[in-house]
Amino acid sequence: MPGDWHSKPRGSSHAPEDAAQMRLSVASRCSPTAVENGKRPARPGVVTSVYHPDEPAGILCQIGLNILPGSANLIPMSTSRETVPSMPARQTIFCDGTSRARHMPPSPEYLLTQVTDEQALDTLREQWPALATQHRYPSAFLTHQWLDAAWQWQSPDTRLRLVTARPGDRLIAACPFVARRRHRYGITFRALEFLSVPDTQECDILCIRDHESDFASSLADLLVTGLTDWDLISLNLLREDAYALQILPDVLTKAGLHTSIDKVASNPSVPLNSSWQDYYRTRSRRLKKGNNLIANRLQRKYQDIQIRHFRPGTDDKDTIHRCVEQLTDLSASSWKGRDTQNTFDQPGPRRFLKRLMQRMPEINGLSIWLLELDSTPVASELQLSHEGTISALRSDFRQELGKDSPGTYLNWKLLERMFDTDNQVYRMGPGSNAYKARWSVQDLPLYRLTVFNNTLAGRSIRLMETRIKPVLRKLRQTTDRSSLS
């Protein structure tokens, strides 16, 4: 692979040539300091990218002192282009022609990679654990295993746009993004969002702490001048201590992008650092009375009541296969089967569950709970455990047995068993309702960071979200108060 490199200073105003020629796929990795005879090396204020269309792993962007283009077909129209004679004709150098980063202070040299397919995602498997363990907080939903499974769910019109950063060979940051078309307020726009599924409980951009500030500046540059085919970025399910929430907003605002932060949900949770007796003593009399009525009803109606616990990777494959089929059947027979397309018998969720069963045993993080009444599975809960946190992914029960409350009984009994483990907290999943409120002790707030691009669609959505919609909301509230009085 060639190591030579030629760069132009910023400010060139030549328009790019044929757009079809701009649609190259993958960058060839070259040293930014390599200099061929008489050619100038990269220096502050000069950004250079070498693109190679035959590599299978994604889109790479080699950085000098400022991070800019992520893909040839994403570079602004002020870009200049030059073919390097010493390289094969298919290799082309692109230099950004804008001037916004001229006075930026030097930042570490990063290699940005845009991962766009499953094969390239799999190449990150070995390096991902080191990145995840050095992130601000541990989370099962930021592991490679979870994201790999989540990608299996996605619809065909969703494109993988996972951006990684490396100074050399070390993976120091990853933005698990997907791109899709959205429609809102009669506007069709291009959105970047986290790679997630309805069972995801939290998201974030992963970054090693020592690189947080530098990578934020580099990502802002990329979004403004390199990765430009987006109108809105919606980063949902962010914890209060999330990197994307704590670091990005100020940096993106300074880069000229408009942002907004909204609280979108909370994740009810139960601390497990006491005894079950001490915890249950704090629950309401109404809850305890209801539990006793359910237990008495089940004991009168059924002769055999069993709660079974399975762990993929520990139990034998035949047992887990049978358990997955029972889980799928319960999911399809629950209320979700009537009101949503998220049950495990659907193609996307089924692919997700299959990959989850394959990958999660690598970190011993998956468990399945089943309630059987007279040897018939009637309720289930799928759980994820990681670094002392148990996350309830989903609970299902047979709709026709709703009057017997099998789901409530299972949740009561498995929560009791959680207190006998080494885990610190049990999270019930985003969303508040009366049932969760009876059990939960504290709520983990979750936020959404929205970033508006300066495109026509981006400005239109921002106008609706930040100006027109709040005014309409106030008018509605005023009208409602007037009607009540």
List residues bridging with 26 in a β-sheet: 52
- Which region among 34-48, 243-257, 326-340, 390-404 has the lowest average model confidence (pLDDT)? 34-48
pLDDT for the residue 316: 83
> Could you tell me the CA-to-CA distances from 384 to 306, 351, 352, 394, 464 in Å, in that order?
22, 17, 14, 10, 38
- Is there a single domain that holds both residue 171 and residue 39? yes
- Is there a single domain that holds both residue 289 and residue 167? no
Reported confidence tier of residue 429, pLDDT bands at 50, 70, 90 = very high
Mean pLDDT for 127-150 is: 96
The larger pLDDT score, comparing residue 476 to residue 70, is at 476
pTM beyond cutoff 0.85? no
The larger pLDDT score, comparing residue 171 to residue 81, is at 171
For residue 308, tell me if it sits in a domain: yes
The CA distance from 396 to 33, in Å, is 58
- Is there a single domain that holds both residue 282 and residue 185? no
Mean pLDDT for 67-94 is: 27
pLDDT for the residue 328: 94
pLDDT for the residue 485: 62
pLDDT for the residue 325: 94
For the chain, give the mean pLDDT: 79
- Which region among 260-269, 288-297, 364-373, 472-481 has the lowest average model confidence (pLDDT)? 472-481
- Is there a single domain that holds both residue 278 and residue 259? no
Q: Please state the domain count of the chain.
A: 2
The answer to whether residue 380 scores a pLDDT higher than 80 is yes
Reported confidence tier of residue 60, pLDDT bands at 50, 70, 90 = very low
Instruction: Classify the C-alpha dihedral 287-288-294-298 as positive or negative.
Output: positive
Mean pLDDT for 254-277 is: 95
Nearest residue to 105 (alpha-carbon basis) of 156, 164, 44:
44
pLDDT for the residue 286: 94
Using the 3D structure, point to which of 397, 423, 449 is the last residue of a domain. Answer: 423
Tokens (6 digits) for 460? 């239109």
Using the 3D structure, point to which of 423, 454, 470 is the last residue of a domain. Answer: 423
For residue 374, tell me if it sits in a domain: yes
For residue 482, tell me if it sits in a domain: no
pLDDT for the residue 338: 67
At 9, which amino acid appears? P
The answer to whether residue 331 scores a pLDDT higher than 90 is yes
E strand or H helix at 461: helix 456-463
- Is there a single domain that holds both residue 123 and residue 77? yes
The answer to whether residue 376 scores a pLDDT higher than 60 is yes
Mean pLDDT for 52-77 is: 32
For residue 455, tell me if it sits in a domain: no
- Is there a single domain that holds both residue 324 and residue 209? no
Q: Give me the helix-helix angle, 406-418 and 285-301, nearest 10°.
A: 110
E strand or H helix at 269: strand 258-271
Nearest residue to 384 (alpha-carbon basis) of 420, 425, 349:
425
For residue 67, tell me if it sits in a domain: yes
pLDDT tens-digit profile of 213-263? 999 999 999 999 888 899 999 999 999 999 999 999 999 999 999 999 999
pLDDT tens-digit profile of 393-413? 999 999 999 999 999 999 999
For residue 453, tell me if it sits in a domain: no
- Is there a single domain that holds both residue 389 and residue 308? yes
What CATH number does residue 348 fall under?
3.40.630.30
pLDDT above 70: percentage of residues in the chain: 76
- Is there a single domain that holds both residue 178 and residue 46? yes
The answer to whether residue 94 scores a pLDDT higher than 50 is no
For residue 234, tell me if it sits in a domain: yes
Sheet holding 442-452, edge to edge: 159-160, 177-184, 187-194, 232-238, 442-452, 258-271, 425-427, 389-397, 376-386, 366-373, 305-310
Nearest residue to 150 (alpha-carbon basis) of 314, 359, 321:
359
- Is there a single domain that holds both residue 353 and residue 256? no
For residue 301, tell me if it sits in a domain: yes
Which residue, chain included where needed, has tokens 């650092």?
273
- Is there a single domain that holds both residue 256 and residue 309? no
Using the 3D structure, point to which of 388, 423, 458 is the last residue of a domain. Answer: 423
Please report the beta strands in 109-200, taking only residues with DSSP state E, as ranges in sequence order: 111-115, 159-160, 162-166, 173-175, 177-184, 187-194
- Is there a single domain that holds both residue 237 and residue 328? no
> Could you tell me the CA-to-CA distances from 217 to 29, 212, 328 in Å, in that order?
22, 9, 45
Angle at 248 between CA 431 and CA 33, to 5 degrees: 140
Reported confidence tier of residue 337, pLDDT bands at 50, 70, 90 = low
Give the domain range for residue 143: 19-263
pLDDT for the residue 367: 92
- Is there a single domain that holds both residue 114 and residue 32? yes
